[in-house]
Structures are given as C-alpha cells and as structure tokens.
Amino acid sequence: MATGELDGRRILVGVCAGIAAYKVCTLVSRLTQRGGEVTVAMSESATRFVGALTFQALSGRPVYTSPFEHIESSDPQHIALAQSQDCAVVAPCTMEMLARLAHGFVPDAVSLILSAVDRERTPVLLAPSMNAQMWEQASTRRNVETLRADGFKIIEPGTGWQACRTIGAGRMAEPEEILARVLAVLGERAEA
C-alpha cells in the first residue's frame, strides 16, 4: 500500500498505560496524515501518561476513555465501533492488557471494544511493551501464545534501553515499524 492510500480506512488505536504511550502520538499522526480515520481508545490509566486531548488533536476525532461513554453515537454499544473498523492496533500493549485479552476481561474501553472485533474480518495487532523481566514471565509467554492462537497478530518488541534503566527485550516496536505492519495488513485485506 503506497503512502497516502489510507483514505477512508478506519483504524482503531488502543493505548494502554505504559511509558511508551508517548510514541503512539507519532503513530496516530502518521496514520492520520495518510488519510486514515483514526479512532483512539485509551485505558483510564493510559491518560496518566498522555492526555486524551493530545490524541483528539492528532486524530481529529473524539477519544474513548470509558467503557460507559459512547461519544460518537447515542447508541450505548461498543459493538458498532468494533464492527466498523478496518484494522485495530494496541500500543503499548502492556502485560496487563495481554492478560485481559487472553482471558476475556473487559474492564476498560480498549478491551471492551476489542472484545467485539471479528478478528477473521478485522486484523488486530498488538505491540507489547514492558520491562524485560515482565516480558520473560511464563504468564506473559502463555498469554502471547494464547492470543496468537486466538488470531491476534503480535508485533514483537525490540531489545534496548528501557525506562527502568536496564537493557533488555520488551521495548515497544518503533512507530514506523507499527505503521508498516498496519499498512501491510490493510494491503493484504485489500488484495483478498
């Protein structure tokens, strides 16, 4: 898919509570600049890292921060939003969000919307981000494998300097890599 080819494509970006949330600002901006209709959903804790107003300004659209408020519709269901997306990406996808998605817990706007996405029709990409020790936990590895088996696409984290001042695996993929993966899955859908 060439640059500028996202006109009319609807992309949900889920933002979870992690220091890498600031990098998602670049992703949302790039998707929007390419013509994507980007809707951002944030866990309540994510708003402590980057404000919803920032994502509203970058996307030009309202931001979902509560599972109880449906800002784009008077219909109080997350299902219409989930069914209208061409692609969804969660970045940073924290250890907690991996567990929520793997086990069907939906206490926040991000997990609730994703619970209604048909992954056979709409690709859902997860960009994990966490400390190296958290990434290596047996529970994290199990959850990632469960999510893969359930049809989620994992964008593997990188290795490098982390906010906890250590070096290791678990760094969220850079915005350009996530953008490339979004473009690739949307290109595959267009060809199908």
Cα 60 to Cα 95: distance, rounded to the nearest angstrom: 29
Can you tell me whether residue 36 is helix, strand or coil?
coil
Nearest Cα to Cα of residue 88 among 65, 62, 49, 115: 115
Provide the pairing of β-strand 158-161 with 167-171.
Answer: antiparallel
Cα separation of 28 and 104, whole Å? 26
Query: Which sequence positions are flagged as catalytic?
Result: 164
Greatest CA separation found in the chain?
A: 47
Look at the block and give the residue holding tokens 């991000």.
Answer: 110
Single-letter code of the amino acid located at 41? A
Q: Which of 54, 53, 6, 26 is nearest to 172 (CA)?
A: 26
Query: How far apart (Å, rounded) are the C-alpha atoms in residues 185 and 125?
Result: 9
Query: How many residues in total does the chain contain?
Result: 192
